[in-house]
Amino acid sequence: MDIPFWLAEEAPPFAELALDTVDVEIVGAGITGCSCALTLAQAGKRVRVLDQRGVAQGASGRNGGFALRGGAARYDVARDTYGADSARELWRRTEGELDRLEELGGDAFRRTGSLRLAADDEERAEIRAEFETLRLDGFVCEWRDELPPLLSPHFRGAIYHAGDGAVQPARLVRRLAGAIAEAGAEIRTNAWVESLDELNAEHVVIATDGSGRGLLAELDEAVWPARGQVIATEPLAERLFDCPHYARHGFDYWQQLPDNRIVLGGFRDFSILAEMTDEEVTTEEIQGALDAFLVELLGTKPRVEHRWAGIFGLTQDLLPLVGPVPGRDGTWVSAGYSGHGNVLGLLCGRLVAEAILGRDDPLLGLLDPARLLGLTTGGDQFG
Ligand SMILES: Cc1cc2nc3c(=O)[nH]c(=O)nc-3n(C[C@H](O)[C@H](O)[C@H](O)COP(=O)(O)OP(=O)(O)OC[C@H]3O[C@@H](n4cnc5c(N)ncnc54)[C@H](O)[C@@H]3O)c2cc1C
């Protein structure tokens, strides 16, 4: 029951190598660590990935399975906050990364589109503004006033994003792990890194999203752990939803899988402070809210076969910290996707790898860890 549905599927074995010395050590074998390792190993670097548990055992095997364009903020808000050019570039790059995910993922990915729903008139006005800003900047999306009978009693309009998709996240990351091992990297599981001092490689990458507390004090200040909870039902008799759906600012999200079971998560805001934790356990309050919403949505209560929790990393500006850790030579981070890491983790893990290979990407300016670690040189630091 507590095993995430995604992880219940049998994991294909990967070649277990043990390397003597390595150029890069990566803490975390989720989407970020595996993406980073893949680019490095394919470029001929000797790489070791370490994880206290196993491949995809963190948020990467415990999430809602949405593969969305963009970041965690609404696009119009992102444009105002990060600047028009930066927001546009980030959204455009995630569209490209969705194509890469499709290539790498095989049957772990389905290009279904996604439906962003408004739960009331206020949210409708917000997502309408987002829709208009997306269109203005040339991004493909459709406005939906007419909703199917199952949705129309609860929702007040939606944006359909045709390029988005659904991912079996554990299968995707396990597939990447196989490719990494094939490219000659070592994946060391059950390997708890208590301190970065234990690592000797020239480059160390922290790819722990919300679960790496204690590795670096300054990161603990900037990346806050948050818990998300999810349920998966038995397969239903009917096909009701053909793509991932999300509403209430992303606090509620669900999708129907090809075998017709529903995966539903969210309601973190019902107990928002208690859910700011890295304790990976389910709670009666949130699980009860998920059960109640299921009945409200479907009108029936299917059997729930899996219940689980996962931890993700939140940041103040909802952007991840990606790049070198200021003041710590050779230490890199890619974490804090604010609940949006399936596509961003794939992208940002690769960007860190590219930077280690000497190919700095302009997007790293926007995601520079220094902006939240209080060490930027551009600002009035002493004022
Ligand atoms: C419930 C839930 C629903 C979500 N839904 C979505 C969604 O639908 N779409 C989306 O895009 N994103 C979603 N997210 C966010 C997404 O899952 C994460 O942002 C993403 O998986 C982060 O991947 P990662 O590889 O960076 O970190 P993780 O997958 O969390 O991997 C980090 C790894 O680091 C290891 N680790 C930590 N500390 C140490 C240490 N000291 N030593 C050794 N190993 C260590 C952990 O064991 C873990 O395996 C959701 C997250 C949750 C929790």
Does the residue 356 lie in any domain? yes
Task: Enter the DSSP assignment of 160.
Answer: E
Could you tell me the distance, in angstroms and rounded to a whole number, from the CA of residue 25 to the centre of ligand 1?
A: 18
* pLDDT tens-digit series, residues 181-220: 999 999 999 999 999 999 999 999 999 999 999 999 999 9
Please identify, by atom number, the ligand 1 atom nearest to the C-alpha of residue 227.
Answer: 53
Read off the pLDDT band of 377 (50, 70, 90).
Answer: very low
- Rounded CA-CA distance 242/220 in Å is 39
Neighbours of 364 (CB within 10 A): 17
pLDDT for 272 equals 87
Residue 298 falls within a domain, yes or no? no
By residue range, what is the domain housing residue 173? 20-112+165-223+315-373
Residue with tokens 């389910």: 282
Q: What is the DSSP letter of 327?
A: T
Closest C-alpha residue for ligand 1 atom 32:
208
Write the residue with the smallest CA distance to atom 3 of ligand 1.
63
pLDDT of residue 124: 97
Tell me the CA–centroid distance for residue 137 and ligand 1, in Å: 31
Nearest to 63 by CA among 266, 248, 301, 259: 266
Tally the domains of the chain. Answer: 1
| Alpha-carbon span 145 to 237, nearest angstrom | 28
> What digits encode the pLDDT tens for the residues 277-331?
999 999 999 999 999 999 999 999 999 999 999 999 999 999 999 999 999 999 9
In a domain, 157, yes or no: no
Would you say the pTM of this structure is higher than 0.95? yes
Whether the per-residue pLDDT at 92 is higher than 80: the answer is: yes
Q: How far is the CA of 24 from the centre of ligand 1 (A)?
A: 20
Cα gap 375→371, rounded to integer Å: 7
Residue 101 lies in a domain: yes
CA distance 125 to 51: 43
Question: What is residue 1's predicted lDDT score, i.e. its pLDDT?
Answer: 65
Instruction: Flag whether 292 is in a domain.
Output: no
CATH number assigned to the domain comprising residue 342: 3.50.50.60
List Cβ neighbours of 29 (8 Å cut-off, separation of 6 or more): 49, 50, 51, 54, 55, 56, 57, 173, 177, 187, 189
pLDDT given for residue 381 in this prediction: 32
